[in-house]
Every structure is written in structure tokens, then in C-alpha cells.
Amino acid sequence: MPVNIRDIAKAAGVSVATVSKALNGYRSVNASTREKVQRIAKEMQFHPNAAARSLVGQRSMTLGVFLTTGLSHPFFASLLGGVDQALQARGYDLIYLSQVSWREEYNFVRHCRSRNVEGVLVFGFQESDMDFGELIESRLPAVFIDMEISGSHIATISSDNVEAIRSAVRRLHEWNHRRIAFIAGQPGSYASRTRFEGYREGLAEFRLPFRQEYVIAGDFTRESGYEAAKRLLALPVRERPTAIVCCSDMSAIGAMEAAAEEGLSVPDDLSIVGFDDIEAARSVRPALTTIRQDTQSIGRKAVELLDDLIREADIPSKQVILPTEWVSRGTCAPAP
Amino acid sequence: MPVNIRDIAKAAGVSVATVSKALNGYRSVNASTREKVQRIAKEMQFHPNAAARSLVGQRSMTLGVFLTTGLSHPFFASLLGGVDQALQARGYDLIYLSQVSWREEYNFVRHCRSRNVEGVLVFGFQESDMDFGELIESRLPAVFIDMEISGSHIATISSDNVEAIRSAVRRLHEWNHRRIAFIAGQPGSYASRTRFEGYREGLAEFRLPFRQEYVIAGDFTRESGYEAAKRLLALPVRERPTAIVCCSDMSAIGAMEAAAEEGLSVPDDLSIVGFDDIEAARSVRPALTTIRQDTQSIGRKAVELLDDLIREADIPSKQVILPTEWVSRGTCAPAP
DNA sequence: GTGAAAGCGCTAACAG
DNA sequence: CTGTTAGCGCTTTCAC
């Protein structure tokens, strides 16, 4: 029994059409009646029925999020903070699109249509994990976070991974590190790929040789960081890296454990750089030097981008890249 | 331009009413026409417009989740896995209810009404954080996870915290531990409160004295576990606990760090028990002995409960308590 | 400026 | 068994 537009029309002594116009701020209705209607609507705690609005062909003000298990990544949690903000500011609600909805029979895109979803946020995938062809063809506006996809009505957003790692290499180089290793993330993921690119560019910039044995693939986890560092530290002493740049804080923390096991002191014998600046980076000992992603802004911007895509006519594929921040803590020092 | 019920009525050569009935599986329509309609609907990839359905007064098949920042706890990630499953199975979609929606002016409950939300899942709060009075009065079905709230159309779900900790104390007692300490979680939170209750009951069961100095309040984090353990281990050696039961894995891991700093060996000098069985529990060294919550089931059950609440007429307040599982790893041993 | 009326896609009486 | 019809709550022509 929520109050509807007719109730307030009666209370205000005007027609429903006038109420609708007044509430939507049309200038074609007399200022005084407009205010009166708005006042009454507020008093009666009127909130329009979203289904009716959506049905009449107008905006549904609904966005979808589609994500994988990646949810458990701390990254997503802080992302949601920014998403929430922007959602509020732009008046959208968010509907969670289940992973299972992505099947042949019960198509994801059609599910969006059926729910009148105006646009989707996609996060947590590797591009290769899934076929986004249908999404792209559907012209349903979409913003991909940390993925490389293009098409019309499509935008992507991510941190400036290349520059972040390149400048990490630069800092380490300034500290006289010459043997700098790299622990990659999930092979094939956008984040790992671009960060690796930054690593190569950084090496190139300072004419440091690229050595295959200094690059170990992982999957962003602590365990994989541990294993990778073990292998790195098993190299002959004179070949051993003096610094390791990691694709995630978790893997950096794993690397720190490996170093401890090998009896190496961080940062005196070995410098380690993480990526993300998750909470654990601060509480680990020594506290982790890392590259902070502005997850809050990524979330906020992603929603804003999606809103733009929805409202503007034909936006060409758009890429947004956000700067990162170097967070100096206790795991980096001049080369031994 | 998604296909609608009229399109398929035309294609099938029947009326829209028949299509509607056929699609909803009414027995009042001839089996052969029903099958024909269903086949055509499938071929044409028809999916009913959720807004229209919802508008006509039927089910909206939409549930809301309301959560706080607590989201960053790994607990919620796996919870969502179970939620997702049940959502699928019961055909609901999930809409994320922004924290900001909980304000005087833009009331949360009315937001749900306006979106035709049929029921809400609430988690991440302490009961005291917020006034749920209006929610309860509204009779909007709600399931609270890890909270103690009652009312009609309300259910709660959580792990059997009391029994979990009580039996942890029992195991430690069997291993001849007599000085068993407890690191609590956020004071006022349901989880911490009930786990503390289990601790007291456990002590009582074996006639171990309750000592105030063996109970330290924390907030579930690693840091708080570290600080608490530091204080516990600062007691005179003969008073020092030989075992610590923690309210979370994170605080247990913090306690392990404190023990290491104090030069104590876990589990030889000190046994430590965690709670949750998060991923890190397995990767920390020694691996953490802990109490596993079946988060997946909690999430699934929560949705099922909510669905029951929505469909059944007047269900009295209902509490579901799920068993936990003792996970024996490397941080517990007989008392020194 | 304002209101009457049509209609969004669907379901539920009620006739036939 | 099937079809006709009347709305659900809202926005939007189009008259007045």
C-alpha cells in the first residue's frame, strides 16, 4: 500500500498528469502548483514505482554488475565503495548479475533486457575467459574494469599499470638495483600483461638486460608469490635479484616469506615492491612498499563512464586510465 | 526491441492470454498448444519483461542485500557464492541496496517498496549500529546474518558459535591446557558475544576458573589480535596462557606474530585456535588450526529462508544455526 | 497551465 | 480450453 501518483493527485486537487510533470520538474507547470505538489508528495512519502516507470519506456535506472569469483579479491571490496558513491550521485540502483546467467539457454544479455538493465559493469575476468561477443553486438552499454575490450558503447577503465611499474623500476634503479626481477600475475590477465609491459619498458629505459629467468608467472596469490620468490632466490648468489617487483601485494607478501626462509633480510638484502596497497600491506612486517591503486576512484569513474555511455548518443570506444601512487614503506632500500 | 508476448501470440496464432498461461504452465491450457507456445517462445528467445510482471502486482522476483563496509571481510565473499547459488535455484535477482539509502529523507524501506523488492538480506552490521525498527514494522521479509533480531517476517542465521568455541575449549582441555585465553571480536557484535558465551561455557564445563585478564577485546583484525596477544604474553610466565582461542583467523594470525616476537614456539609453547577458516589460515606457517564456518551454506540458506518468509503466510520469527567444523592444522598441541 | 486518454507488457478475471 | 478485456502506476501526446 505505498502511496501512488493518484493519491497525491487527489490530495493536491490536480490531475495525475500534472503531478507527474511537477514531480519531474517540467517547466510547463505553474511554479506554485509544482511546489505544492512536490510538498505534498514529500509529506506523503511518495516514491514512484520503479516498475511502472521502467515499463512506460523510460529509464529503469538500473545498472548490472557482472563479476566472477574475483569478488573475494580485496580489490573488489574497495571498488564497491566508489561504485556506491556514484550510484547514489547519479540515481542508479545496482543489480547483481549471477555468473550462471551467462549460459547459452539463459542468455546474459537477454536477462539484462528483461530486467531493463541500462548498462553493465564487468569485472573480475580475463578477456579470454568468456566470449563477450554477444554483449558487444547487443550494444548494451558496458564498462570493463581491468580488461582490454573495445567496441561501440564500450569503455574500459584501469590503473596506469605500465607507468606504475616503469616508475617502480626507475626508483629501484636509482637505488642502484641492477638485478630486478618480476613476479607476474595470472598469465593472460590484463593487469599482469600491462604490468609486465611496464617492467620491460622500465628495463629498457635504463638499459638493463631483460632476462627470462627473472620473470616468473604467478596468479596474484600469496602462495604463487612464495613459490616464485623461492625460484628466484635459488639462483646462484651472484645472479640473484636484489629487488623483486610483484604484481600484487599478496604475492609480495608471499615473496617476503620466502626471503625470510632463505635467511635474507628485507629490505637490506632484498627489496620488494607490491601492487594494490591492500590492508595487509600495512600490517605486514616490515610494512610493504607498494603501488596504490585508487580503487575508490576506479569504482566511481566506472559508474560515471557507464552513465555517460548510456546517455550520450554514439560514443566511440573510450579508455580511462587512472594514475597510481607510490607508497613508500619498509621493504625497499638501496641495493646491497 | 526484445520480443514480447504479443509477438509470440501472433507467431503461435493464439491470444496473449493463452501465451501467458502457457508460459506460466497453467493446466487450463491444452497440452499441445502449451508445448507449441513454449517452443515458439524459446525459438524467439522470449523473456518476459520483469517490470511489466512486477507492475501487474505479481512477484518482482527481486531481493535486496544491505551491507556495510564489512564487505572487505573474506567471509562475505564466500557467503555470496552460496547466495548466488540459491538465487539461481529460486529464480531471484539481487539488488544491492546502498548504504546511503538508509537515511531519514530517503528511506531504505520505501526504496525497497519503490523497487518492489520482496525481501532483504542484511549483514555486516552490529545490531546497535542501526535502527532496524522501521524495517521490522514494515513487515518486509528480512533475513539477518550474524545478528540477533526478532520480529514477524524476520529470520536470522548464523553459525553455532557457542558450541564451536565450547568444543574448542574442550579439545584444549583434553590436551591438558588449563590456562586458556580468549581474544574477542568487536564488542557488541553478535559473533563476538556468542563466541564469548561459548568460551565461558567451556570453562564452566571443565571447572576452569574464569579470569578477566585472559579475555581481551579486539575487533577481528590482525592488528587487534597482535596487540591482544602481546598483552596476554606479557603476563608473568606462570600465569601466561598456554592456549589462545581467537574470534577470527585474522586475529589468530596476529597472535601468531606476537608469539613469534616473544620467542614462543607455536604450537609447542602456545596453542592458537582461529575462527572462519579463511584462505590465509592454510598458507600461514604453521598452518592455523581453526573452526570452519560453512559460509557457502549460510549464504544459500539465507536466501532460502528469505524465500520461505516471502511465500509463507505468517511465519513466526525463525532462527537458523549451522554447525561448524574443527579444522586441525599445525597451531594446536598438548600443553607444554 | 492543465487534464483526458492512450499505452508500456503482462496477468487475471470473466465470457464464450 | 481460448479469447476479450480491464487494469497495475506511470509518462506523454494532444486537446482544451
pLDDT band at A284 (very low <50, low <70, confident <90, very high): confident
The tens digit of pLDDT for each residue in B238-294 reads 999 999 999 999 999 999 999 999 999 999 999 999 999 988 898 888 999 999 999
Q: How far is the CA of B258 from the C1' of C12 (A)?
A: 68
Residues of A in contact with B98 (CB under 8 A): 84, 87-88, 93-94
**Greatest mean pLDDT among B107-111, B139-143, B148-152:** B139-143
The tens digit of pLDDT for each residue in B145-162 reads 999 888 888 999 999 999
Amino acid, single-letter form, for residue B222: R
Judged by a CB distance cut-off of 8 A, whether residue B39 touches chain A is no
Alpha-carbon gap: A64 to the closest alpha carbon of chain B (Å) = 9
Alpha-carbon gap: B74 to the closest alpha carbon of chain A (Å) = 6
Judged by a CB distance cut-off of 8 A, whether residue A74 touches chain B is yes
Nearest protein residue to nucleotide D3, judged by CA and C1' positions: B15
| Between A78 and A148, residue with greater pLDDT | A148
Q: What's the confidence (pLDDT) of residue B171?
A: 98
Q: How far is the CA of B20 from the C1' of D4 (A)?
A: 14
Q: Kindly report each contact of residues A98-106 with a partner whose C-beta sits within 8 Å and lies 24 or more positions away, as own/partner.
A: A98/B84, A98/B87, A98/B88, A98/B93, A98/B94, A99/A66, A99/A67, A99/A68, A99/B84, A100/B84, A100/B88, A101/B88, A102/A66, A102/A130
Q: What's the confidence (pLDDT) of residue A298?
A: 96
Amino acid, single-letter form, for residue A69: T
Alpha carbons B12 and B34: distance in angstroms, whole number:
10
Judged by a CB distance cut-off of 8 A, whether residue B20 touches chain A is no
Rounded percentage of chain B residues whose pLDDT exceeds 70:
93
Which residues have CB under 8 Å from A93's CB, separation 6+? A50, A61, A62, A63, A87, B95, B96, B97, B98, B115
Q: What's the confidence (pLDDT) of residue A318?
A: 87
User: Quick one: which H or E segment has residue A53?
Assistant: helix A50-55
Q: What's the confidence (pLDDT) of residue B71?
A: 59
Q: Is the CB of B16 under 7 A from strand C?
A: yes
pLDDT band at A132 (very low <50, low <70, confident <90, very high): confident
Average pLDDT rounded to a whole number, residues B75-82: 80
Alpha carbons B92 and B89: distance in angstroms, whole number:
8
Closest CA to A10 of A19, A21, A1: A19
Judged by a CB distance cut-off of 8 A, whether residue A51 touches chain B is yes
Q: How far is the CA of B56 from the C1' of C7 (A)?
A: 14
Which residues have CB under 8 Å from A57's CB, separation 6+? none
The CB-side HSE value for B232 (13 A sphere, CA atoms) comes to 35
Judged by a CB distance cut-off of 8 A, whether residue B24 touches chain A is no
Q: What's the confidence (pLDDT) of residue A23?
A: 92
pTM assigned to the model: 0.89
User: Are A96 and B99 an interchain contact pair (Cβ–Cβ within 8 Å)?
Assistant: no
Amino acid, single-letter form, for residue A218: G
C-alpha cell belonging to residue B58: 505479481
Is pLDDT of B196 > 80? Answer: yes
Q: Which domains does chain B have, with CATH numbers?
A: 5-57 (1.10.260.40), 62-159+295-322 (3.40.50.2300), 161-293 (3.40.50.2300)
pLDDT band at A134 (very low <50, low <70, confident <90, very high): confident
Alpha carbons B108 and B121: distance in angstroms, whole number:
13
Nearest protein residue to nucleotide D6, judged by CA and C1' positions: B56
Alpha carbons B197 and B160: distance in angstroms, whole number:
11
**Nearest 5°: phi and psi at A33?**
-65, -35
Residues of A in contact with B114 (CB under 8 A): 2, 47-50
Q: Is the CB of A57 under 7 A from strand C?
A: yes
Q: What's the confidence (pLDDT) of residue A103?
A: 59
Q: How far is the CA of B91 from the C1' of D2 (A)?
A: 29
Q: What's the confidence (pLDDT) of residue B242?
A: 98
Average pLDDT rounded to a whole number, residues A10-31: 92
**Nearest 5°: phi and psi at A98?**
-65, 145
Q: What's the confidence (pLDDT) of residue A74?
A: 66
